Structure formats: structure tokens, C-alpha cells
Structure 1
């Protein structure tokens, strides 16, 4: 069994509501991008892509960027969350042999409403987790106002928080410029966003305060495993580079372990887009038990199968992994993390469906 733990999909009703928004530049941008990726909305195309990987391949689905918070006033973003979650729950219920579960959409511009929606998604719709982004309206996610949300998910035990990056061209590469060029905001900026998010949560003491919280970071933990020397012995010297008049910038929640030890408490996926050496580094840093198979489909150049195929090839070719390790990454870890059905049967093969 292969359970792809980080896949994007737009339920029909949600896509229709998203495409009806005409007063948001962010909405217009995603409308353009989605139009070129049929497997996001077309189930026939989606299933055709999935069939390439056999009857034991399934997905945990979520909606695609941008964050709901960027799509308009609070009443609209709350409406979008409800529509998205109802749609994903329906897809999981109607296609259990395709979709192992879904992670709810929430708008964190209203924390109380987000908690209510995630409770509804867990209790009434059966969501296995919730997807959030690396900032809300440009603000950091370690603000105390978000702690009740983290707490609400953490107390649920077998539920996870998926974290997706988000910035656009308005986040310039240099102070003297107005926009980021050459899509640097995406290629490098998204990985910085994820890394900064992780760092701020570590120093806010989220793992000290909520030791049972389960946070899955997209793109293999981004920059963190590749800069382990700076994250480790570098941050062991926290404060040595900070002027005395900026001491408040290095004062956070009192930590009882080295900073690097907290980073290893995050879970990460394998969405490295075929970069096997980078994936190897991430697995060695976070460990097999904190690594979940995830492809980021369908945003590859083939609009569906490419990243899945490359990720499987990377994992199958990696000589640091045993067969037992691969089993844990492919399905064992996510099954244990979320309390999924260990005895789920694969769907019939394409040939069997035809013969029937």
C-alpha cells in the first residue's frame, strides 16, 4: 500500500465558487493556474493518473493554494472552507478505494471560526487533519492568538496539521524592488517560508507546550535538513550575534532541549520533485519514522503522474532504506499517525474492472 499524504484537489462545488470570485487578484491568479491542471478538478483524469500506480495507491487530499485568508472578507473565507470540506468529505465517502482521507481547509483570519470549522470537519466529516499555511495575511504563525488553534488540533490525538508555504511576487527579492522576479518567490521563497515557520514555532515553545502535536511540513522540511550545521551548533550559540539593544528578538519560550532537537519533532513528506539526494538528506535528518510518502501531485510538468513516479523511483532506489523502512514511509507511518485502517483492501485492478 502506498498512501500519498500530500495531494491537492479541488472539489467541484469549491472550484465553481472559487471561479466565481471576480474581485480578488489572488483568486484570478489561481483560476489561471488551475485551468492548466485538469487533474485538480476532473475525477476521470485524476483516476487515470492514479491507475498508473496500481490498485494499492491512494491519496490524502487537500485544497490547493492560495490560503483562504487571501480570498476576501471573513464571511466569504468561512463559506469557502465549508464548501471545500463538504466536497472533500463527499469524495472520500464515495471513493474510499482512491482517497484515504482529507485534511480540512480553514481560514485563520478568524481563529475562533477556524476552530469551529476544524471541529466540524473532524467530528461530522471525518477529516484526518487540517491544512494551514506559513502565514496569515503576511503575519507570523507563532503569535499567541493562534495557540488555541494548535491546542484544539493537538488534543485530538490522531489528527495532523499539514503546513503549506505561501507567498507571491509581491514578496520582493530585494528591499529596493517591488516584486520578486523569475518566480524566485516560488522556487526559493516557499522553502524559506516553511523554514521560517518551523523556526518560529520551535522558539515559541509549541513542542514544549503541546508535546503531542503532529505537524507535517511540506517539501521534506524545506531548508532545515540541508543547513543542519547552522540549525544545530549554529543555534546552540543563539545570542552571540545579536546586539544588546535587540535582546528582545532572541527571547522566546524557555526551551529545555537544543533547538535542533525540536526540529526533529516535525514530520515531513517526500515531495522533492525527483531530487533524490535532497530527499536522502531529509530522511537522514528527520528519520524514517518521521517521513511520510507525499508527492504534491498534480503540479508536475505532466499535470499528474510525474512527481508520483519520480518520488517512488527515488524511494525504491535509495540504498540507505530497507524494505521495512520503505513500507513505513509508504504507508506504515501515516497509518499509525492517523489511526487509519490497517486492513484496507486495494481496489480492483483496471483489468479486473474491465472484465467485470
Structure 2
């Protein structure tokens, strides 16, 4: 069975060159600094510098994959490239550079690397177009964050995008970047440690409670970080849906929608991974590492083994589910 890591990133310096000095860029950097705090920015800068080869060079990536027994990766742009502050023209350029950059990277190892582009959440009218461009380049879908300024994923303006993604069979990878709790999380790297799982839970709740998944049941949506906090506190979601008429924007209990979503295995705890598999089902969890960042899992197969799944579940999470979701060839 092929082992597939669905959560791996690529750094694209050409995007950062394109946005540098543009109106809004300085304010974006200031907000990022306030949300993360100086200590986190300093540590993150050093960490990225040490791993720049893994983030940019195919040979380094393949060597690292071989060391932990990963046969294939789904490569997505670093979430730092979202730039949802950008105007329409610049956002289109960012997404073009992302798709072309990822396509060029994975083309160097087409039997082992597959890619995702970006879609500009701040400009809903552009999203289907950027998705189609990514697909035209041979990518498997696009990566998005949990929200854009002034817009949640339940916003009706996204309906054409969800429809196009479902129709095309593209994968939409939900990977938060930043957290709207802002300065409350600007110490001890809480902006990531706590903020990312919060954003996952909020974004998925918007998709579920608003009925997006009712209207687009064929949508292939993959949530990073095991779906954040949502899969482990579903009793409260179901209780609210049953008791509150204002919470009934979806057709049935929220917990039932986990069987329509997909989740990576990056939860950092064997017991939590077992609970995710129980809640979502063994066919809905895929191997993910967040390669090569320090908040990732350096040996995702070892983390999966530690959860003690049976052989059928192990093979499904290891690669079978990814082969099905991304329509890959099984190299076994």
C-alpha cells in the first residue's frame, strides 16, 4: 500500500516578492506581529530558515520522505502565502503564482508529488476561476483558510465556489492561518497551539450549521489538524441543534456531517486520533504531517501506529483514503 502524506507545504518566494511594498502589505505584517507576538515571530523565522531546503528543494523533500517511509505527498503552499488583504488584481496574481509554483515543484517528481493551489477567500467571484486554473495545471484542488476579513465560510457569496469544487471533483484543503482572537494569543505561541484548532472548529461549524454540506454533498473537503476542536465536542453541537431552533440551519444533527468530511491525522496524541477515527469513521481520516514545520509530526506513520488501529484501518489512513480522495494511482 502506498503511504501518502496529505499535509505538506511549499514556500514560494516569488509570491512574497509580488506582494512586497503593495498597499496593505505593511498593515498585514503589523497585524501578524500583534497576533503572534515578537517571541513567536523570532522563533518561527529561525525555524523556517533552518528548513528552507525542505520547503523549496524537491531533492531535499524526497530524501526526508524516504527517511520516514512516505511514498507520496500532497504539496500545498505555505499558509503564509494567503494574503487575504490583497486587492482583486494582486490576489489573482498571488493565486496564479501559487498554482504555477506548486505545479513546477511537483513536476520534478510526478510519481511522488501532487499539488494544490490557492483560492482568494476575500474575492469570492475569483475563486472558481482560480480553482479551474489550478486544475488546468494538473493540481488536485486548492487550499483555503478558515475565513477572510468580513466573511465566514457560510457566506452565500461562496456558493458558486462550493458548487464548482463539487462538480469538478477538486479537493478543498481547509488550513487556518492566523486567529481572530488576536492579542489574547500573542504569548507562548498560543496563536498556533490554540488558535489553529479554534479556527478549524469555527470554520467547520459554519459549513455544517449553515447547510453548505446539505447543498453540496459531493464536496471533497479535507480539514487540517484533525478538524481542530470540533470532532471531540460534538455532543454540545448536537444538543444545540436539537434544542435551539436558531441553530437548525442544517438538515440533521451536526455530528452526522463528519462522515461527509475528511480529516488529516495530525492531532499529536494516539488517544485523540482514535477518537477522531471513531467520530468520523476510518474512511475519513488521512495521514498528515504538516511537513516540514515544527508543529508537524516528523514521523506520521509512527504516530499512526501508536494509535493502534487494526490493519484495515491502518492501511486506509496510511494511503488508501488519500488515493481515493485525490484520485491517485496506488504504487503498491
**Cα distance, 1:110 vs structure 2:** 1.8
Q: What SS class does the counterpart of residue 8 from structure 2 fall into?
A: strand
Q: Which residue of 2 aligns with 1:52?
A: 67
TM-score by length of 1: 0.80
Structure 2 CA distance, aligned partners of 1:42 and 1:26? Answer: 28
- Which one has a larger percent helix, Structure 1 or Structure 2? 2
The question of whether the paired residues in 1 share the 8 Å contact of 2:283 and 2:316 is answered with yes
Q: Which residue of 2 aligns with 1:144?
A: 156
Structure 1 CA distance, aligned partners of 2:247 and 2:9? Answer: 37
Residue 46 to residue 231, structure 1, CA distance change in 2 (3 Å):
same
Structure 1 CA distance, aligned partners of 2:284 and 2:26? Answer: 38
Match of 1:74 among 68, 85, 88: 88
Structure 1 CA distance, aligned partners of 2:150 and 2:79? Answer: 15
Q: Deviations over 1:194-253 (max 9, x none)?
A: 1111111111111211111111111111112221322333542235xxxxxxxxxx2653
The question of whether the paired residues in 2 share the 8 Å contact of 1:115 and 1:149 is answered with yes
Residue 143 to residue 7, structure 1, CA distance change in 2 (3 Å):
same
**Ranges in structure 1 where 5+ consecutive residues have no aligned partner:** 174-178, 240-249, 346-356
Count of aligned pairs between the two proteins: 317
Match of 1:334 among 313, 319, 322: 322
| Structure number with bigger Rg | 1
Task: Indicate the larger mover: 22-31 or 86-95.
Answer: 22-31
Structure 1 CA distance, aligned partners of 2:180 and 2:243? Answer: 34
Residue 129 to residue 236, structure 1, CA distance change in 2 (3 Å):
same
Residue 3 to residue 282, structure 1, CA distance change in 2 (3 Å):
same
TM-score by length of 2: 0.86
Structure 2 CA distance, aligned partners of 1:171 and 1:16? Answer: 26
Task: Indicate the larger mover: 41-50 or 330-339.
Answer: 41-50
Q: What SS class does the counterpart of residue 66 from structure 1 fall into?
A: helix
Match of 1:278 among 272, 287, 292: 272
Residue 276 to residue 328, structure 1, CA distance change in 2 (3 Å):
same
Q: Which residue of 2 aligns with 1:257?
A: 252
The 5 Å alignment of 1:154-303 reads: 154-157=166-169, 159-168=170-179, 171-173=182-184, 180-239=186-245, 250=246, 253=249, 255-272=250-267, 274-300=268-294
Structure 2 CA distance, aligned partners of 1:59 and 1:19? Answer: 30
Task: Indicate the larger mover: 284-293 or 184-193.
Answer: 184-193
